[in-house]
Amino acid sequence: MSTPRTVLVTGGNRGIGRAIAEEFIAQGHRVAVTARSGSGPDGALTVVADVTDSASLDAAFTAVEAELGPVEVVVANAGITKDTLLLRMSEDDFTSVIDTNLSGAFRVVKRASKGMLKARFGRIVLISSVVGLLGSAGQVNYSASKSGLIGLARSVTRELGARGITANVVAPGFIETDMTAELPEAQQAEYKKSIPAGRFASAEEVAKVVTWIAGDDAGYISGAVIPVDGGLGMGH
Ligand SMILES: NC(=O)c1ccc[n+]([C@@H]2O[C@H](COP(=O)([O-])OP(=O)(O)OC[C@H]3O[C@@H](n4cnc5c(N)ncnc54)[C@H](OP(=O)(O)O)[C@@H]3O)[C@@H](O)[C@H]2O)c1
């Protein structure tokens, strides 16, 4: 088992973020989640924050630090979709998705890095998507935001790598959550045909990879993009 750490997961009230929080708790870590509504799993400290608002994030980090100690592992998971074809996509559809998924991760990483630099230790995990590598019709905004996370993690790796801090990207494929439940059945069946594994994954399968990349055994991995996609994004 890895050294117990203080972990903060954004968007930990449901979906993949909640599963990630549960897995860190199961492995004996001190876990906090941010939520705009609802709360995280049993055993997690829930703090209210919106990743589009730096002041709310700052207050959330301060509350976690007071309760659980400096944040050593941060998982930028909060994300949204606003899918439509390019010609129908409004500028607001584009910028609001970037503001949550990419600028939100930037705000989280920037705030987390303060304590990590002081401690000369940190694990940053950004939840991207296979569509950040493959592209996706109807998701110009979302896929651009998810590709951007790769440049973010790799630049952070170059800036902070010598201070004991790693920054990695986990790129899930299709995972059974509210986000994919919204897709029409026919589209879900079509997607399954293109996935070599022939199925969607559970959120727990993503969570296990996130805890591993943040753990002691993965301390020399940084700037990596780790697919959890059943082979969908192979070669990208
Ligand atoms: N599901 C998939 O197949 C899949 C595949 C690849 C990547 N991903 C990525 O994995 C991450 C989690 O996805 P999911 O499927 O678990 O999605 P989800 O079930 O829709 O949950 C999204 C989470 O993000 C939070 N969130 C959204 N906007 C926020 C904001 N402005 N500030 C704070 N929190 C915010 C939500 O909080 P509220 O409950 O308050 O809305 C919720 O906790 C996302 O980054 C997503 O892009 C998902």
Is the shortest distance between the CB of 57 and ligand 1 below 6 Å? no
Using one digit for the tens of pLDDT, what is the confidence trace for 183-206?
888 988 988 999 999 999 999 999
pLDDT given for residue 147 in this prediction: 98
Structural domain includes residue 93 = yes
Using one digit for the tens of pLDDT, what is the confidence trace for 97-141?
999 999 999 999 999 999 999 999 999 999 999 999 999 999 999
Which residue range(s) make up the domain with 180? Answer: 6-228
Structural domain includes residue 71 = yes
Closest-CA residue, ligand 1 atom 1, reads 175
Closest-CA residue, ligand 1 atom 46, reads 79
142 among known catalytic residues: yes
Is the shortest distance between the CB of 127 and ligand 1 below 6 Å? yes
pTM: 0.98
What is the CATH classification number for the domain harbouring 178? Answer: 3.40.50.720
Structural domain includes residue 235 = no
Structural domain includes residue 1 = no
Q: Are 129 and 102 in contact (CB under 8 A)?
A: no
Residue keyed to tokens 């630049």? 155
Structural domain includes residue 233 = no
pLDDT class of 2 with cuts at 50, 70, 90: confident
Structural domain includes residue 236 = no
Q: Nearest-CA neighbor of 142 among 99, 98, 173, 174?
A: 98
Is the shortest distance between the CB of 14 and ligand 1 below 6 Å? yes
Is the shortest distance between the CB of 36 and ligand 1 below 6 Å? yes
Domain count of the fold of the chain: 1
Using one digit for the tens of pLDDT, what is the confidence trace for 39-60?
999 999 999 999 999 999 999 9
Ligand 1: centre distance to CA 162 (Å)? 31
Structural domain includes residue 217 = yes
pLDDT class of 33 with cuts at 50, 70, 90: very high
Structural domain includes residue 125 = yes
Stretch 132-156: mean pLDDT: 98
CA distances from 10 to 58, 91, 196 (A): 13, 25, 30
